[in-house]
A = this chain, B = another copy of it.
Amino acid sequence: MFGIWGHEKATEITYYGLHAQQHRGQEGAGIVVSNGKTLKLHKEDGLVNDVFERADFEKLAGYAAIGNIHYVTNGNRGFDNVQPHLFHTQNGSMAVTHVGNIMNSHTLRGELEDEGSLLQTTTDTELLAHLIKRNGKDINEQSIIEALQNLVGAYAFVILTEEKMYVALDPHGIRPLSIGRLHDAYVFSSETCAFDIIGAKYERDVLPGELITISKEGLESIRFAIREKRALCAMEYVYFSRPDSDLNEVNVHASRKQMGIELAKESPADADVVTGVPDSSISAAIGYAEQCGLPYEMGLIKNRYVGRTFIQPTQELREQGVKMKLSPVRGIVEGKRVVMIDDSIIRGTTSMRIVRMLKEAGAKEVHVRIASPTARHSCFYGIDMSTEEDLIAANRPVEAIRELIGADSLAFLSPEGMEKAIVKDTSINQGVCQACFTGNYPVTMKRKGILSENKSK
């Protein structure tokens, strides 16, 4: 998610801002721009590169823009869910884009429909727009606050009208959202790496429960909810964010390296080399190697050119040994006791495949070390993590997992080690959400059975 206010190349900057965050979603992209009089939208399925052409920059001329890329979780596949959404009313237009997950959306949709609203999609962005306009209200700070106060869940919203931009973060700040300055312009981004790409300066993170309004009069901030202890998603550090981003002012690569160091302290291995699964586990692997005094080597290679048009090998060829995305480096692992660092284990199938691959390439022993705790619980806050029954660790002790994946030893980072690696200080704004590891959910529906009300999309 990205927004910019007050730059004459707003669309172009937003293109680069989204491009820098392409790893956060590959299924679609869109930008809405305001020229002060009208809002214009361009969105399509596909990568940012494929969605926009230079000519679009001229068609979307304006001084304020918001954009998003499409991250598919269970239930929001399809073009209808590509954001932003643009709404025209006779009193003006409004574009909305969002990251996260509204847990009580089903209930809210029912209420709206009973009042006569007709929703076209199952997206949370459309839901928010309808809540704002509920009962024919105008689009302003007040109606947005009323709408936000209905929501239970994790969310970061950016709203654009012809004349204003609104930015809101949920009361626990579960999803990341930062503010930067590009000369006189304000920029907003899920990840700070977008600021580096466009040459902007990081200013601060949006606060939990904060609503920011930007207009010709400048930036105003109010709090629309009691601020809770921040519960920033730990998975952002583990694998979701880019290593060059800072979250809560902690650099992601550095935090990953530190996870590797903590992991080495907790669970060292008697081995010859350390290797990591590219790309997201390299930092942790280097940290682990440094801490253990073992050489870090490139024992696994990622095939960079595997894209949309890549022809997957048939089952027959796969059984004959044709690899796809990852391949082991025989010259590195043959005859060696290898520590293989991965960032997480979700379903376990990838780990199983990599262990077998390394053994087939001649590794004498494969010691798997996971730079995050066991993922045992579903996420209701917008990370696509499989349901509990699919999580290999949900109902299995570590030893059973080790056996399943065929490793010679297996260890996970502890939640405490994780916290040490991520949290810089203990202020209210610096906490993390480890719900998928620990089951301690910061936000719930506050009644029995609540967690399962999650959208039945």
By a beta-carbon cutoff of 8 Å, the part of chain A in contact with chain B is 9, 12-13, 15-16, 19-20, 22-23, 47-50, 52-54, 57, 85-91, 106, 109-110, 113-122, 129-130, 133-137, 182-183, 193, 196-200, 202, 242-244, 246, 250-251, 253-254, 257, 279, 282-283, 286, 290, 295-298, 301, 303-311, 313-314, 316-317, 320-323, 327-332, 361
Contacts and interface: CB of A to CB of B under 8 A. Distances in A.
Nearest to A55: B311
B298 A329 contact: no
Given A253-B297, A253-B332, 16 more contacts: A9-B316, A13-B317, A19-B306, A19-B310, A53-B311, A86-B120, A88-B122, A90-B109, A90-B110, A90-B113, A115-B135, A117-B117, A243-B298, A244-B301, A254-B331, A290-B296
A13 to B, nearest CB: 8
Nearest to A329: B244
A286 to B, nearest CB: 6
A296 B286 contact: yes
B313 A16 contact: yes
Contacts of A183: 320
Contacts of A327: 20, 193, 196-197, 244
Given A90-B110, A323-B196, A327-B196, A317 B9 contact: yes
For this chain, the copies found in one complex come to: 4
Contacts of A279: 304
Given A120-B120, A244-B298, A303 B19 contact: yes
A246 to B, nearest CB: 5
A118 B129 contact: yes
Contact of A87 (B118, B137, B198, B286): B118
Given A242-B301, A332-B254, A361 B120 contact: no
B22 A321 contact: no
B305 A22 contact: yes
B86 A301 contact: no
A15 B251 CA distance: 40
Contact of A196 (B200, B254, B329): B329
B243 A329 contact: yes
